[in-house]
Chain A
Amino acid sequence: MMALRGALIGAFLALASPAFAQERIAVVTTTTDLRSLTEAVGGERVAVVSLVPPTMDAEEYQPKPQDVLRLKNARMLVRVGLDYDLWADRLLTQAGNRAIGRSGPGYVDASYGIAALELRGMSVGPGDGHAHGSGNPHYWLDPKNAEVITATILEALARIDPANAASYEANRAAFLARLQGKIAEWEEKLAPLKGMPIVAYHNSWPYFARRFRLDFVGFIEVKPGVPPSPSHLSGIVRTMKARNVRIVVREPHEPQRDVAFVAGKTGATVVTLAASVGALPQAGDYIALFDANVAALLAAAR
């Protein structure tokens, strides 16, 4: 009896000791794109959860009680920034986890070091009092920006877990090498679409357009959440006829009706693209996201 008890205690101690249980670093990201990139750098050593379901509009996400708990237990938070996930600020206050607070070691604003496009007006987010314009927040849709984003993530992971810094660096290098080849492939595939005029429902695509030299000539929804006015809509239809726009881009969460209306008036094709990992079933990770979008655009342009 004593022997059994001793064995049980021994087994428990062995399991509980840090050397045995390779504890993974709990990371919370606001979007699935950042989850995919964090996993690419962290590999087996991180356990990443993303808060916004990919099929939802991240700018309008309403956090749930579970999210506070996730942040409480996290050692690192990766967010998009540029006023895209403003709701994360309130969540951070509620969670009260110093390590991932604004000045904590585990706080990662992935927009750090990104050359933001279309900076206009002022940021509405809580900041340092500087008038940094908010800029278009969809910067992860330029695959080259993944270099900068993963560098920021790598830096934070190395700060939290310096013992494994070398392995994170190797993971990132391998990922970037794979991405490099893919970018060349996508650029080659989309080369015939260079300068082809495209209309989108929402302006999510400036970074994507810059990288692959696409021409987004108009947007159906000018301000998020405000339906288009008749003169704006008729202007879009006029532009589409004048410039012979054949493609209208929509994201899965955007209203089918308005897009179908514009496409119906001009005979253009509606293409559903994923602006986030997981928004379409075939866009399972960061690289698959571009694979899916490139394939969809090519199919529509044919």
Chain B
Amino acid sequence: MSEALAFLLPPFLVAVCLVGIHAYFGIEVLRRKVIFVDLALAQIAALGATAAFMLGHPAQNAATYGYSLAFTLLAAVLLAFTRRWASRVPQEALIGVIYVVAAAAAILLIDQAPQGAEHLKQVLTGNILTSGWNDLAAIVPLYLAIGVLHWILRARLTGDSLAWDFVFYATFGVVVTSSVAIAGVLLVFSFLIIPAAIGVMFADALGRQLAIGWIAGIATSAAALAASFAFDLPTGAAMVCAFGISLAIAGMLYPFLRGDRHRALRVAGATVRWILVAILMGSALQLAAAPRADQPLIDLAEYAVPQLRSLYFTSSEQAAFADAGAYAERYRREAEELNERERRNRTEGETLDDFTVARISSFLKSYGEMRKGEQFVMGEVRARARERVRWIAAGALLLLALLFAPIRWRRIL
């Protein structure tokens, strides 16, 4: 437990800082309706870093950072103007164009710089898991300074002047450039939009919106980090999905907290039942039309309760299926053992001669082929059994679908 804590504490604190500043910028971004501005700014910063790289500056160097910053400030000027240009074309379209052109330009530059591709990838796909105290030391003062600046200038920043628009985009660009390098584009976008959206959903005043966004963002980050440790998942991707889930939960809670609870309950019940009906009817059609193809619902049910197969397998089919399964598993285990023996022998005991290594290699190939054969048998047995029962089973599924359907049968009959 303490080991997990030691591992997850720095990324958690980094996430707290990122949620802190991004929830605020997110609320502002939602208000201005410039949702994808962070992607455009991050991409421009990456373009600057790529240009520096091409000119021979090493990564993580003051000059590289300088190029990034200069490009970001130029982009801020451009972005400040977009609101004025956006009379017939929406501002978001212009932002999208800035994003794709920056991304494409970076690819063109990379073509000239040998190590550019990996570098660009690293700039845009940070890994929050490996962030540490040094990252915190860099971002805490920076975010505090920008936060205080925005607090002092809050009345002006929400106004309509070109200069203050520039200040907004420039400070936002500085934040995004640093956060994307730590957490990656996907996660930063989630930090920006989702806590802010939840805050805006449940409150009107900026202070309360911020408080709700911060609580939701920090709780989600903590849950996602714990889950990624417990279930052995890549951290960044797990966090983005967790933020998506928390937005969905907030969306589902909204009608219960704001509005007629009974009506909300009724609508929710009907929605769940219609979804069930759609899944059951789709599965029935799939089984009837293509019994040999994948049957996601039936496969899932059989995966959870393998005994379900005995409902429609004959006893000889059951025996063949179990037999093939046991052999496939045996081949897998034996191949694994052989692999492990070869690995150990690299350093232990006498080295195997090349002939023995070649024999092991060809044994492994045979095991793979034999295992595939057994898996083929399993698939074939199952497909034939399903073909046999397809009409009855599809009929049963349809009946089940009708039972779930929120239709008032008494009125019809």
A, B from the same assembly = yes
Residues of A within 8 A of B (CB): 53, 55-57, 115-122, 130-133, 135, 144, 194-195, 206, 209-210, 213-215, 226-234, 238, 252-258, 261, 264
Q: When chains A and B are docked, how far (Å) is the Cα of A226 from the Cα of B346?
A: 27
Of residues 286 through 328 on chain B, the ones whose CB sits less than 8 Å from some CB of chain A are none
B344, closest chain A residue (CB): A215
Whether B3 pairs with A238 at a CB distance below 8 angstroms is yes
Annotate B229-262 by CB proximity to A: 1 below 8 A, 0 otherwise. 1101111110000000000000000000000000
B348, closest chain A residue (CB): A195
9 A-B pairs with CB atoms under 8 Å apart are A55-B114, A57-B118, A115-B357, A115-B362, A116-B364, A227-B235, A252-B115, A255-B127, A256-B60
Add 7 more A-B contacts to A55-B115, A144-B354, A253-B118 (CB < 8 A).
A122-B368, A132-B368, A132-B369, A194-B347, A229-B233, A233-B130, A256-B122
Whether B114 pairs with A258 at a CB distance below 8 angstroms is no
Of residues 313 through 365 on chain B, the ones whose CB sits less than 8 Å from some CB of chain A are 335-336, 339, 342-343, 346-348, 351, 354, 357-358, 360-362, 364-365
Indicate whether A119 sits within 8 Å of B129 (C-beta atoms), given known contacts A234-B7, A238-B3, A252-B115.
no
Whether B372 pairs with A131 at a CB distance below 8 angstroms is yes
Whether A215 pairs with B130 at a CB distance below 8 angstroms is no
Question: Which residues of chain B are near A214, meaning CB under 8 Å?
Answer: 346-347
Question: Which residues of chain A are near B358, meaning CB under 8 Å?
Answer: 115
A229, closest chain B residue (CB): B232
Partner of A227, one of B4, B234, B351, B354: B234
Summarize A's interface: helix, strand, loop or mixed: loop
Q: Report how many A-B pairs have Cβ atoms within 8 Å.
A: 128
Whether A132 pairs with B365 at a CB distance below 8 angstroms is yes
A155 vs chain B, min Cβ distance (A): 18
Indicate whether A257 sits within 8 Å of B122 (C-beta atoms), given known contacts A120-B339, A195-B347, A230-B8.
yes
Q: Is B228 part of the contact surface with A, judged by Cβ < 8 Å?
A: yes
Q: When chains A and B are docked, how far (Å) is the Cα of A131 from the Cα of B115?
A: 36
Q: Is B70 part of the contact surface with A, judged by Cβ < 8 Å?
A: no
Q: When chains A and B are docked, how far (Å) is the Cα of A228 from the Cα of B117?
A: 21
Q: When chains A and B are docked, how far (Å) is the Cα of A118 from the Cα of B368?
A: 12
Annotate B113-129 by CB proximity to A: 1 below 8 A, 0 otherwise. 01101100010011101
Whether B235 pairs with A230 at a CB distance below 8 angstroms is yes
B372, closest chain A residue (CB): A131
Indicate whether A210 sits within 8 Å of B229 (C-beta atoms), given known contacts A227-B234, A227-B235.
no
Question: Which residues of chain A are near B236, meaning CB under 8 Å?
Answer: 227
Q: When chains A and B are docked, how far (Å) is the Cα of A210 from the Cα of B125?
A: 34
Partner of B118, one of A55, A121, A215, A233: A55
Q: When chains A and B are docked, how far (Å) is the Cα of A133 from the Cα of B342?
A: 16
Whether A215 pairs with B346 at a CB distance below 8 angstroms is yes
Q: When chains A and B are docked, how far (Å) is the Cα of A20 from the Cα of B3?
A: 73
Indicate whether A120 sits within 8 Å of B354 (C-beta atoms), given known contacts A55-B114, A55-B115.
no
Q: Is B132 part of the contact surface with A, judged by Cβ < 8 Å?
A: yes
Partner of A56, one of B118, B126, B234, B365: B118
Whether A230 pairs with B7 at a CB distance below 8 angstroms is yes
B117 vs chain A, min Cβ distance (A): 6
Question: Which residues of chain A are near B357, meaning CB under 8 Å?
Answer: 115, 117, 210
Question: Which residues of chain B are near A130, meaning CB under 8 Å?
Answer: 369
B69 vs chain A, min Cβ distance (A): 20
Among A122, A215, A230, A252, the most chain B Cβ lie within 10 Å of the Cβ of A230
Q: When chains A and B are docked, how far (Å) is the Cα of A210 from the Cα of B344?
A: 10
Among A53, A119, A120, A121, the most chain B Cβ lie within 10 Å of the Cβ of A119
Q: Is B225 part of the contact surface with A, judged by Cβ < 8 Å?
A: yes
A260, closest chain B residue (CB): B130
Question: Which residues of chain B are near A264, meaning CB under 8 Å?
Answer: 132
Question: Which residues of chain A are near B365, meaning CB under 8 Å?
Answer: 116, 119, 132-133
